[in-house]
């Protein structure tokens, strides 16, 4: 193909074929990546699925407070395969977060945020934030009870900003309550942000390809024997991973499409009737728990944002020269405690913020920040890491692959 005259003609003037060959085909990749490295490409594919189903949904959806709910029901009942599009889109958002959260914890465990990949990591955190904004606004679009009240609660957080709070909220709403103007702008932004995401993902990959993937040993490649070309090795491995992911995904879409949703969102939005419990989508629950664990509204909001923003400075909080948690026995332990902490916070987020749940979420929040601001910096100084292997190919060649 490369030798076809037309291809050569184009490539000479715009070396896009050379670029693709270099970055997708020959691209040298550590030979020892395990299956945790599948989740990046999975996230990219889900983003594409979300955009494709979203565009088709948008062809039938009406962003007006009097018609939005009906138009979604029309998609479910009268549009050919509309139910499938919508269930793919709604569950796709959940899977997007599952995959990205695993991807992030992979990075945390193997120290992928450390030099020279700090900027790659920070761009990843930006992706997480934009994703959250996109999903939050998407959830408002069907204009059910949870859409409406979720939007009301979350936008109201900004009223905690000193002095300008109320003005900011009015500005966000485009009025004096969550109303048609809010729905309209959320739709406009929900359509826009995924494409912004695509652009940020390109930057993410660009930064990735500068130094290449980290690997389970966390040591740099010593030479060509440590690397293999991306294609066919990782293309086929990623394809297999995609197959497994799609099996789980299809199970939800076809057999439990509303399991991850909230029943109240099948009740049309009603500004006069507040649901007994307003809960956000599951992927926001840990952050919601942090928000509600603090009595002061402003401090709660600050803590919630800080819980994400702390990731930006993580590369400088962790001073340990060893990347991979494999060689850091104490770090490894605290890593799993953090995973547990996040799950516990998630459960707290779903419970009413009172009694023992409030207690637990306070402990969880405290631990979360303790982990990043105290434990991680201290471990960098105090922990004695285990000896590192001399090169990637050495343990790979000696021990059977893990």
Partner 1 sequence: MKKLIVPAFAAALTLGLSLAPSQQAVAAEGVAVPQQKWSFDGPFGHYDKMELQRGFQVFREVCASCHGLKYIAFRDLAGLGYSPEEIKQMAEDYTITDGPGDDGEMFDRPGKASDRYPDPFPNDKAAAASNGGAIPPDLSLMAKARPDGANYLYALMTGYEDPPADFDLLEGLHYNAYFPGHQIAMPSPLFEDGVTYGDETPATVDQMAHDVTAFLMWAAEPKMEERKETGIKVLIFLVIFTVLLYAAKRRVWRDIH
Write out the residues near partner 1 by the rule CB under 8 A: 31, 34-36, 73, 76-77, 83-84, 87, 98, 101-102, 105, 228, 232-233, 236-237, 239-240, 243-244, 246-248, 250-251, 253-255, 257-260, 262-264, 266-267, 276-277, 279, 282, 285, 339, 343, 346-347, 350-352, 396, 400-402
Min separation Cβ 331 and partner 1, Å:
17
* DSSP letters spanning 84-104: HHHHHHHHHHHHHHHHHHHHH
Residue of 55, 239, 343, 374 that binds ligand HEM (CB under 6 A): 55
- Give the chain's radius of gyration (CA, Å): 23
At which residue do the structure tokens 């709070």 appear?
Answer: 165
Residue of 134, 182, 215, 307 that binds ligand HEM (CB under 6 A): 134
Residue of 30, 32, 40, 50 that binds ligand HEM (CB under 6 A): 50
- Half-sphere exposure of residue 370: CA atoms within 13 angstroms, side-chain side: 10
Contact (CB, 8 A) for 379 and 367: no
In the complex with partner 1, the residue whose CB is nearer, 76 or 133, is: 76
At which residue do the structure tokens 């479910």 appear?
Answer: 76
| Phi, psi for residue 94 in degrees, rounded to 5 | -65, -45
At which residue do the structure tokens 């826009």 appear?
Answer: 192
Site string for ligand HEM, 94-133 (x = CB under 6 A): --x----------------------------------x--
Residue of 141, 151, 183, 375 that binds ligand HEM (CB under 6 A): 141
Which residues, in sequence order, are CB contacts of 364 under 8 Å at separation 6+? 289, 290, 293, 341, 344, 345, 348
291 binding ligand HEM? (CB under 6 A): no
At which residue do the structure tokens 């040993």 appear?
Answer: 217
CA distance 323 to 257: 39
Binding site for ligand HEM (CB under 6 A): 47, 50-51, 54-55, 57-58, 61, 72, 86, 89-90, 93, 96, 131, 134-135, 138-139, 141-142, 190-191, 194, 197, 261
């Amino acid at each position: 193909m490369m030798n076809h005259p037309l291809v050569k003609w184009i490539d000479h003037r715009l070396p896009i074929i050379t670029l693709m060959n270099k970055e997708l085909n020959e691209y040298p990749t550590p030979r020892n990546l395990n299956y945790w490295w599948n989740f990046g490409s999975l996230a990219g594919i889900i983003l594409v699925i979300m955009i494709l189903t979203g565009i088709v949904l948008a062809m039938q959806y009406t962003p007006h407070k009097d018609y939005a709910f009906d138009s979604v029901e029309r998609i479910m009942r009268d549009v050919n395969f509309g139910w499938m599009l919508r269930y793919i889109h709604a569950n796709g958002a959940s899977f997007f977060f599952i995959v990205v959260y695993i991807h992030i914890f992979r990075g945390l465990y193997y120290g992928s945020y450390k030099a020279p990949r700090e900027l790659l990591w920070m761009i990843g955190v930006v992706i997480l934030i934009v994703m959250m904004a996109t999903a939050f606004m998407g959830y408002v679009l069907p204009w059910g009870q949870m859409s409406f009240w979720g939007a009301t609660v979350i936008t109201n957080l900004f009223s905690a900003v000193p002095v300008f709070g109320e003005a900011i909220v009015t500005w966000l709403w485009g009025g004096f309550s969550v109303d048609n103007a809010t729905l309209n702008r959320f739709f406009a932004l929900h359509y826009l942000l995924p494409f912004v995401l695509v652009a940020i993902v390109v930057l993410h990959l660009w930064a990735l390809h500068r130094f290449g993937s980290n690997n389970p040993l966390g040591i740099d490649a010593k030479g060509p024997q440590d690397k293999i070309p991306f294609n066919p090795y990782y293309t086929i491995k990623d394809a297999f991973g995609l197959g497994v992911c799609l099996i789980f995904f299809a199970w939800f879409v076809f057999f439990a499409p509303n399991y991850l949703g909230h029943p109240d969102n099948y009740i049309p939005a009603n500004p006069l009737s507040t649901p007994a419990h307003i809960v956000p989508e599951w992927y926001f629950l840990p952050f919601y728990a942090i928000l509600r664990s603090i009595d002061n509204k402003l401090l709660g909001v600050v803590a919630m944002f800080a819980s994400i923003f702390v990731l930006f400075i993580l590369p400088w909080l962790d001073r340990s020269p060893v990347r991979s948690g494999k060689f850091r026995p104490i770090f490894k332990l605290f890593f799993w405690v953090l995973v547990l902490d996040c799950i516990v916070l998630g459960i707290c987020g779903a419970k009413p913020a009172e009694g023992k749940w409030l207690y637990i979420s306070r402990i969880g929040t405290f631990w979360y920040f303790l982990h990043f601001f105290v434990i991680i910096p201290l471990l960098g100084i105090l922990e004695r890491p285990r000896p590192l292997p001399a090169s990637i190919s050495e343990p790979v060649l000696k021990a059977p692959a893990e």
